[in-house]
Amino acid sequence: MNSRLSLSRARGATLGIAALLCVTTACGDDDALPVQNQTPIISAPLAMSVLGRGNLVDRYTAEVYAHGNFAYTTTWGRRGALQTTGNTFYVWDVSGVLPVLSDSVLAGTDVTTIGDVAVSDDGKLLVVPTELVPGSVLIYDLTNPAKPLLLSRYTSPSITRGVHTCEVARVNGTLYAFLSVNRSATLSKLEIVDLSDPTAPRSVLVRDMGNPFIHDVFVRDGRLFTALWDDGLVVWDIGGGGKGGSVSDPVEIGRIRTVGGQVHNAWWYQDRSTGSKKYVFVGQEGGGSIGAASSGDIHVVDISNPAAPTEVAFLNIEAGGTHNFSVDEANGFLYAAYYNAGVQVVDVRGDLGTCNADARSSDGRCDLKKAGRHHAEGLRSAGMPVYIWGVHYLNGFVYASDMLNGLWKLQGYTR
Amino acid sequence: MVLVCVPALAMAQEHAHRMDDSTKGISFGGMAVVLVTQVDPAVRGTTLREAYLSQPMFMLQARSPNERIAARVTWNLEGAVMRRGELTPGIYGEGYIDRRHPHTALHEAMLVAQHALRGAMLSVSAGKGIVPFGSDDPMMRPFQKFPVNHHIAQILERAVVIGAARYGIVALEGSLFNGDEPESPGDTPNVDRFADSWSARASLAPLAGLETTVSIARVTSPEDAEGKGLNQRKVHAAARYETAATRGVQYMLVEYGHTGEYRRTRKAWDFSTTLVEAGGALGPVRFALRFERTTRPDEERTEGDFRSFRPLLDFSILGRSRWDAGAVNLSTQKRIGAQLAITPFLEIGLSRVRPTVLPTTFVPADFYGASRLWAVSAGMRLHAGQMPARMGRYGAGRTSPAQDH
């Protein structure tokens, strides 16, 4: 067990015993001085153990996805005196302590940004969306995960502006790609593509949504969660929500506009310790100056009644804003990319909607920091500026893509 | 009303654009600029040289004999001849960066009603035009290139209703207008957004030729036509001096402006500007000098190197850069008959650009290929008929009695 976690537990237990002794003493002695209300002591978050970094500075790094012994990172924008374009994604061998660059793959000379990457649940396909004009989705075969092999390039009139994010998920046995396309001359839209034959992807849905953006989606158990910015989080039935919906005809189950809007991403959490499936974690991207500043909270939404979701908790990190998440559901830790604030770790096991008065904000939500659930942070004091775009938890490790520096590998937490 | 074309007066020689605008009745005017601009470096170390037909405009002005009713319509043809924009290092706005955006075809269409009451002049103006905020439209100032601070110091091309009052040396203006910027030269203000924004300007003319102003504005979502973008809170202060002297310094402007961009009550970022410019004549040669220090947002670019997203992707910027820009303009005017004037000019500008937020994903020296950018322009301004001395004021909001006619 992590020695720092043990120390934290010991500290907490000591406080608890001290509190119990105080109460007991007060109750048992009529002449005792009244116990003064004490401000709860909120422990500072632990410092994540940083194992090392795979250096990459000739391009800005964007998203990360880890699978098996490899991690895949994408690139963004233009960088350096050569204005090197974000048209390449990288393959890293992460089997050792440090990420080691294994290969680089040119996505296309007409590509300027690759904002996302995903691997299918069976590990057979790597899916890479491209921006800007002309947008596309590249599908690679991962029979040799160190050498992705291009199978097809999907284009459609709906995605010419560029595909901002692309999630890959299986619904009722069929593999789909969910493409989020942001507004330009046309409205933001979601396109869903059938990947049954990865050499010939087939569009099954194009639907306008987003206010003004659709930034990302999350798919699980026949439900689709769309992050629609100021239209909030919307829950859809696409085959498992009991509303008769399907991938080609999603039916809305419910929606919520979280505090502040700017809904950027979501994760439907399934707590393996309790079996609870009632929480969706929502990321708010509050805008900032890329490379230097960010803003936006993590919001916890209770979907016990999916037709009427309610926001029950939030996490605010000073001078930082959340971007993408990865959740270790077995241990109940949420790892969040926090741009200039590095990586933030939240203890999400158990009841997040119940807290004492000290941890409850004026609007009734639980402040997860005051509730002692801000478990750890990493890279914020790395000795260099960081701007963490994405994180991916895998097999006890956290891989963090840093726009400015490359790919970090950190130690995850266990119970 | 009688069609009158008053010959261009001697005052035209004092100012590159100045033509008498006190004409009663109906008058026509037009202008255009033919020029070549070279920017070095323009992007990634390369030099760009382009030719333009810039600011081709036709203006119709009408004024009733008792001056109670006036109208002005200005057609601008830049959308037809300059859709790519005009190379201007540092400038930004309406989805253009480092190129001045083309103005809308119907640049201005204002109807003004004014009435004198107990020594005060009152007016109501309505139509599409320039919002009473900040300093004059740079189109009528003695430089070809607009300053970097154009979208900090002016609010143009809006559907606007203006109430103004002038009493002696004090003038007050207030307006309601639509916040959305034009999205293209053919765009028109969104009617459903009318009056979602407001401005106020106070002017004081304590001495002949001297005008001081303070302005404030709240502009709703200028960069997103659907009203979902960031809102702007703007302030501006200026002092302007103009003299009828025939030589030496004839004109000066000092201004400060600040724009904060907000999502509801939370400020995302802010930008400021300080600008000084002066113009005058030495014999037949007119000169103008300008220096500004302006911060601007560095935005992700699309469709090439000079366009940016509207609305901003995720409402984030790549950084903020500070532009220290100086310019010198030399010109001389040649009259051709009573109605035409040609003004050949040479304009040289030097800008130094540095990031103000670090780290930044927009490193100016990397993008441009250097931190110092030269811009050299040579060409001719063509004037015909009657054009106003200044653009940006209507009715009682126009220049002080000392300068009125």
CA distance B91 to B146: 8
Residue type at position B171: A
- pLDDT over 70, % of chain B: 92
Q: What does the alpha-carbon distance between residue B387 and residue B121 come to, in Å, rounded to a whole number?
A: 23
* A:B CB pairs within 8 Å: 79
Q: Which residues contact B183 (CB under 8 A, 6 or more apart)?
A: B94, B95, B225, B310
**Closest residue in B to A182 (Cα–Cα):** B313
**Is the predicted pLDDT of residue A215 greater than 80, yes or no?**
yes
8 Å CB contact of B358 and A60? no
Residue B96 one-letter amino acid: Y
The verdict on B267 touching A (C-beta cutoff 8 Å) is no
Report the mean per-residue pLDDT for chain B: 90
How far is Cα A64 from Cα A73, in angstroms, rounded to an integer? 4
Tokens 């929606």, residue located: A255
Q: What does the alpha-carbon distance between residue B302 and residue B63 come to, in Å, rounded to a whole number?
A: 45
- pLDDT greater than 50 at residue A31: no
Q: Which two tokens stand for residue A204?
A: 């099954």
Task: Answer whether B46 touches A (CB < 8 Å).
Answer: no
Could you tell me the pTM of the whole model? 0.88
Q: Smallest Cα–Cα separation from A133: which of A159, A108, A151?
A: A159
Taking phi over 0 as left and psi of -120 to 50 as alpha, with beta for the rest, B246 belongs to alpha
Q: Which of B314, B321, B363, B371 to mutate to test the interface with A (most CBs of A within 10 A)?
A: B314
- The vertex-B231 CA angle with B226 and B234, nearest 5°, equals 135
Report the DSSP pairing between strands B372-385 and B46-63.
unpaired
User: Nearest to residue B396, comparing CAs of B153, B170, B130?
Assistant: B170
Q: In one letter, which amino acid is A75?
A: T
pLDDT tens by residue, A227-276: 999 999 999 999 998 999 999 999 999 999 999 999 999 999 999 999 99
* Sheet containing A136-141, strands listed edge to edge, beginning at the edge strand earlier in sequence: A118-119, A125-130, A136-141, A149-154
Q: Which residue among B228, B358, B361 sits closest to A211, beta carbon to beta carbon? A: B228
User: Kindly report the CA angle at A58 between A130 and A127, in degrees rounded to 5?
Assistant: 25
What does residue A19 show for φ and ψ, rounded to 5 degrees?
A: -65, -40
| Minimum-distance CB partner of B311 among A212, A262, A290 | A212
Residue pLDDT, tens place only, A115-152 = 999 999 999 999 999 998 889 999 999 999 999 999 99
Residue linked to tokens 């220049």: B399
CB contact under 8 Å between B317 and A385, yes or no, is no
Q: Is the pLDDT of residue B1 over 70?
A: no
Interface probe for A, chosen from B298, B300, B316 (most Cβ of A below 10 Å), is B316
- Cα dihedral value B367, B80, B55, B386, nearest 10: -170
Closest CA to A137 of A187, A201, A92: A201
Task: Provide the pLDDT for residue A40.
Answer: 53
C-alpha–C-alpha distance, residues A8 and A20, integer Å: 18
The dihedral sign for the CA sequence A72, A78, A82, A87? positive
* Inter-chain touch B224–A212, beta carbons under 8 Å: yes
Q: Is B361 on the interface with A (CB under 8 A)?
A: yes
Residues found in chain A? 415
Please name the amino acid found at residue A182: N
| Three-point CA angle A264, A265, A268, nearest 5° | 150
| Partner-chain residue, chosen from A83, A230, A292, that has the shortest CB–CB distance to B360 | A292
Which chain B residues have a beta carbon less than 8 Å from that of A382? none
pLDDT in tens, A93-123: 999 999 999 999 999 999 999 999 999 999 9
Q: Tell me which residues of chain B, numbers 228 to 247, contact chain A at a CB-CB cutoff of 8 Å.
A: 228, 230
Contact A287 B316 (CB under 8 A): yes
Tell whether omega for the bond before B311 is within 30 degrees of 0, i.e. cis.
yes
Partner-chain contact B359 A211, CB within 8 Å: no
Q: Would you state the pLDDT for residue B311?
A: 77
Q: Is B28 on the interface with A (CB under 8 A)?
A: no
- Please answer yes or no on whether B357 and A387 come within 8 Å at the CB atom: no
* Contacts (Cβ under 8 Å, ≥6 apart) of A297: A259, A260, A284, A286, A314, A315, A316, A317, A321, A322
CA distance to partner chain B, nearest, from residue A413 (Å) = 30
ipTM field: 0.85
- Answer whether B239's CB lies under 8 Å from B207's CB: no
**CA-based nearest distance A164→chain B, Å:** 10
B137/A contact by beta carbon, under 8 A: no
Does the CB of B64 have a partner CB in chain A at under 8 Å?
no
Q: Check if B405 contacts A (Cβ < 8 Å).
A: no
d(CA A36, CA B37): 76
H/E stretch holding B159: strand B158-167
Helices (H) and strands (E) in chain A, counts: 1, 32
On whether any CB of chain A is under 8 Å from the CB of B367, the answer is yes
Q: Which residues of chain A have a CB within 8 Å of the CB of B303?
A: 132-133
Indicate if the pLDDT at residue A27 is higher than 60: no
Q: Write the CA distances from A338 to A26, A61, A291, A401, A413, integer angstroms.
A: 44, 14, 11, 11, 18
Q: With an 8 Å Cβ cutoff, are B317 and A289 in contact?
A: yes
Position B67 confidence tier, pLDDT thresholds 50, 70, 90: confident
| Cα nearest neighbour of A291 on chain B | B360
Closest to A219 measured CA to CA, from A201, A240, A202: A240
> How far, in Å, CA of A171 to CA of A240, rounded?
8
Nearest to A291 among B268, B359, B369 (CB): B359
Question: CB-CB: which of A83, A213, A387 is closest to B44?
Answer: A83
Confidence of residue A42 (pLDDT cuts 50, 70, 90): low
Please list, residue by residue across B76-112, b when 16 or more beta carbons sit within 10 angstroms of its beta carbon and e when fewer do. Answer: bbbbeebeebbbbbbbbbbbbbbbbbbbbbbbbbbbb
Q: Tell me the per-residue pLDDT of A305-350, one tens digit each, with 9 for 90 and over.
A: 999 999 999 999 999 999 999 999 999 999 999 999 999 999 999 9
For chain A, helix, strand, coil in percent to 5 are 10, 45, 50
pLDDT of residue A108: 92
**Is there a contact between A79 and B317 if contact means CB atoms under 8 Å apart?**
no
CA distance A385 to chain B (A): 7
Determine, for residues B361 and A83 on separate chains, whether the beta-carbon distance falls below 8 Å.
no
Residues in B closer than 8 angstroms to A290, CB to CB, are 316-319, 360-361
Check B318 against A290: CB less than 8 A apart: yes
Query: What residue has token string 């600011």?
Result: B55
- Tokens 């048209």 found at: A87
- Residue B114 near residue B121 (C-beta atoms within 8 A): yes
**pLDDT, position A243:** 94
Backbone angles phi, psi at A11, to 5 degrees: -65, -40
Helices (H), B4-99: 78-81
Band (pLDDT 50/70/90 cuts) for residue A382 is confident
Under an 8 A CB cutoff, do B314 and A264 touch? Answer: yes
Average pLDDT of the segment spanning B222-251: 93
Supply the pLDDT for residue A9.
Answer: 45
Measured between alpha carbons, how far is B286 from B347 in angstroms, rounded to an integer? 12
Percent of chain A with pLDDT strictly greater than 90: 83
Judged by CB atoms closer than 8 Å, whether chains meet at A212 and B269 is answered as no
Say if the Cβ atoms of B302 and A132 lie within 8 Å.
Answer: yes
| CB atoms B315 and A264 under 8 Å | no
Question: Is B269 within 8 Å of chain A by CB?
Answer: yes
A interface with B, Cβ–Cβ below 8 Å: 60, 77-81, 83, 132-133, 182-184, 211-213, 215, 230, 262, 264, 285-293, 295, 385, 387, 403-404
Query: Which residues on A lie below 8 Å from B363 (Cβ)?
Result: 80
| Burial of B121 per CB tally in 10 Å (0-12, 13-18, 19+) | buried
Give the C-alpha separation, B276 to B256, whole Å: 9
Please give the pLDDT value at position A183: 78
Point out the residue among A212, A285, A290 whose CB comes nearest to the CB of B361: A290
Among the partner-chain residues B226, B320, B360, the one whose CB lies closest to the CB of A212 is: B226
DSSP string, A55-93: E--SSEEEEEEEETTEEEEEEESEETTTTEES-EEEEEE
Residue of B44, B184, B224, B313 to mutate, interface with A, max A Cβ within 10 Å: B313
C-alpha A18: how far from chain center: 38
Mean pLDDT is lowest, of A21-30, A388-397, B124-133, for A21-30
3-state helix, strand, coil in chain B (%, to 5): 5, 55, 35
